[in-house]
Structures are given as C-alpha cells and as structure tokens.
C-alpha cells in the first residue's frame, strides 16, 4: 500500500514540475527574428533565448531564467541573493544577475540601466564589474536586440478572427476546448498589455 502511494506521489510531483515548467517557459523573441541578443565589448554576444537550457521569461515583476554567452557561460537572472533582476511593472529593470565566471551584473547602474518599452523591446546598458558594459541598444547592435512578447492590438485582431469559431488548432482557443468563446476572452483579458506566455498562439 505504501509503495503504491509513493508511486502516485512521484507521478504527481513529476506532473506538477512538467506543468510548472511549461507555464513559465521563455517568452523572448516572439517573432523568431533573432531578437534575443545583447552585446558586451569584453564578452561578445549574450543570448537571451539559447538553444539549450530554460531561456529567459519576462514578467511584470521580474526576469527569470538563464542567459548564455559563448565566452563567459551561463548568467542567472534570478539568483537567490540580491533578489535577481526586477521589473517595476513599467519596464524599468533593476537588481543583479549572477554569472559563475564573471560575478554580479547590475541591470540598474547609476549611469545606465536597462528598460523594456511597451512593445517589449529592451534598451539601455547593464554593468558588470568584471566585464564592463552590456549593450541592449539595437541601433548599435547591427540590427540585433532583445525583445519580449507583449500582448498588443495585433493579438486582439487575431483573436477576433477566431471569435465564435470551433475546431482543432484555432489560435484563439486559449482554453483548449476547441471553441473560441468567453472562456478564451477571459484568458486573453488576463494577458492584455502584459507579457505573454511561451508560444503565445496569437502572434
């Protein structure tokens, strides 16, 4: 009896971890146009949507996950110490990321700072004592930048295209019941003007 209970407990914990991982998966580079790179003169390109690892998730309160830089390794945006990188809800970032090979990186230094505009574009500069400045200004980055997914008017237009339709695979079917109705509208409303989850279907 006890062994059976342990099997179910392991199964439920595994299911919770799987669901939790999917819920908080990365939401960088929503249009898959390589909007995922910052640059450091001393460290090279820094990738916010690496091909392996959890990537980065932006919310209205924080940044979580890991950034990859070929020359310095992984950077943790949400270490337990110093509270990680914080978003004030208006897109002004502060706090510290941690790289095992480079130490602390400040996202809100006195003479810089990183911001996210209403369209999800990162801008500004972060500072690391051991690596110097990390540049998020796309005008300097040969067309590259870092962009997070935000729910915008285009998403509303795409949602309306599916309104009251039924069938499999409709982008507006956010609840997964093969119908686009007020249940989906409620889900959409919760994300309106906020950072959308991974694989947001209305882009």
Q: Is residue 161 part of a domain?
A: yes
Contact status, residue 22 vs residue 198, Cβ threshold 8 Å: yes
CA distance 176 to 56: 25
Q: Which domain holds residue 116?
A: 37-140
Contact status, residue 134 vs residue 99, Cβ threshold 8 Å: no
Residue 25: per-residue pLDDT: 64
Q: Is residue 102 part of a domain?
A: yes
Residue 143: per-residue pLDDT: 85
Residue 145: per-residue pLDDT: 95
77 and 169 assigned to the same domain: no
Provide the b/e sequence for 157-179 (b: ≥16 CB within 10 Å).
eebeebeeeeeeebebbbeeeeb
158 and 65 assigned to the same domain: no
- Number of domains forming the structure of the chain: 2
Contact status, residue 109 vs residue 121, Cβ threshold 8 Å: no
74 and 120 assigned to the same domain: yes
From first to last of its 203 residues, the chain has per-residue pLDDT tens of 444 444 444 343 333 333 333 344 689 999 999 999 999 999 999 999 999 888 899 999 999 999 999 999 999 999 988 889 999 999 999 999 999 999 999 999 999 999 999 999 999 999 999 999 999 998 888 889 999 999 999 999 999 999 999 999 999 999 999 999 999 999 999 999 999 988 899 98
CA distance 11 to 110: 48
Q: Is residue 32 part of a domain?
A: no
CA distance 136 to 38: 5
pLDDT in tens, 79-91: 988 889 999 999 9
Q: Which DSSP category does 196 fall into?
A: P
Model pTM score: 0.82
46 and 130 assigned to the same domain: yes
Q: Which residues on neighbouring strands pair with residue 37, listed in sequence order?
A: 47
């Amino acid at each position: 009896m006890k062994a059976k209970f342990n099997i179910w407990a392991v199964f439920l914990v595994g299911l919770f971890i799987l669901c939790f991982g999917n819920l908080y998966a990365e939401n960088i580079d929503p249009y898959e146009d390589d909007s995922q790179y910052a640059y450091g003169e001393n460290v090279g390109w820094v990738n916010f949507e690496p091909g392996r690892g959890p990537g980065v998730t932006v919310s209205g309160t924080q940044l979580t996950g890991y950034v990859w830089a070929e020359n310095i390794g992984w950077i943790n945006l949400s270490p337990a110490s110093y509270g990680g990188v914080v978003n004030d809800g208006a897109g002004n970032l502060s706090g510290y990321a941690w790289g095992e090979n480079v130490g602390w990186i400040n996202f809100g230094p006195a003479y810089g700072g990183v911001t996210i505009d209403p369209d999800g574009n990162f801008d500004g500069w972060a500072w690391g004592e051991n690596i110097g400045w990390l540049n998020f200004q796309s005008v300097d980055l040969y067309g590259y930048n870092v962009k997070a997914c935000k729910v915008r008017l285009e998403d509303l237009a795409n949602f309306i295209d599916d309104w009251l339709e039924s069938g499999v695979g409709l982008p507006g079917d956010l609840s997964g019941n093969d119908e686009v109705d007020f249940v989906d509208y409620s889900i959409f409303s919760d994300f309106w003007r906020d950072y959308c989850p991974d694989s947001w279907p209305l882009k």
